[in-house]
């Protein structure tokens, strides 16, 4: 199964804490992003998969404006532009967000995932997006 979510990839955020008198309340300010992600993914998921799974996540992030030339070279990538995306967000936080949102929809429980790959690349070949490929594992890899 392959799921493609258009838009800038979203990383899992840490929970936030607020003091309420003597008590501390914990809340997540990421619920709207999870809902938007689910809306875009919903039609691409036939149902929960069973058995051991391998998940491959590829995150296409937009390049900063500083990677491109100016003037007559506008739109052309500078020679000094880096090949790999080594800045925030972290690949593990991007993957964690995807796994948490798809838990219960693409698989019954994320404990079924026995192999996970997460790759961050610049979206040079199209718009920013997240591509998730989920495969059932029939035997040893």
The pLDDT tens digits of the residues spanning 37-64 come to: 666 677 788 888 989 999 999 999 998 8
pTM: 0.80
Q: How far apart are CA 83 and CA 106, in angstroms?
A: 32
Looking at the DSSP bridge assignments, the partners of residue 54 are: 115, 135
pLDDT tens digit sequence for 30-39:
665 666 666 6
53-61, strands of its sheet edge to edge: 2-6, 129-136, 53-61, 113-122
Residue 37: per-residue pLDDT = 67
Those residues with Cβ within 8 angstroms of residue 3's Cβ, 6 or more apart along the chain or in another chain: 41, 44, 45, 102, 106, 131, 132, 133, 134
Residue 1: pLDDT above 70? yes
Residue 22: pLDDT above 90? no
Length of the chain in residues, anyone?
A: 141
- CATH says 2-136 is which class? alpha beta
Indicate the SS3 state at residue 7. Answer: coil
Where are the domains positioned within the chain?
2-136
Instruction: Say whether the peptide bond before residue 68 is cis (omega within 30 degrees of 0).
Output: no
Main-chain dihedrals φ then ψ at residue 133, nearest 5 degrees? -115, 125
């Amino acid at each position: 199964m392959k799921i493609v979510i258009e838009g800038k990839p979203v990383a899992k955020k840490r929970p936030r804490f607020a003091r309420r008198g003597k008590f501390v309340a914990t809340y997540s300010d990421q619920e709207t992003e999870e809902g938007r992600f689910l809306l875009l993914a919903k039609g691409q998921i036939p149902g929960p998969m069973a058995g051991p799974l391998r998940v491959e996540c590829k995150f296409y992030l937009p390049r900063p404006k500083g990677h491109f030339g100016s003037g007559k070279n506008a739109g052309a990538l500078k020679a000094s532009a880096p090949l790999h995306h080594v800045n925030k967000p972290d690949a593990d936080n991007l993957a964690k967000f995807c796994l948490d949102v798809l838990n219960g929809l693409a698989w019954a429980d994320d404990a079924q995932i026995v192999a996970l790959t997460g790759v961050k690349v610049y979206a040079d070949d199209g718009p920013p997006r997240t591509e998730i490929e989920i495969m059932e594992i029939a035997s040893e890899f």
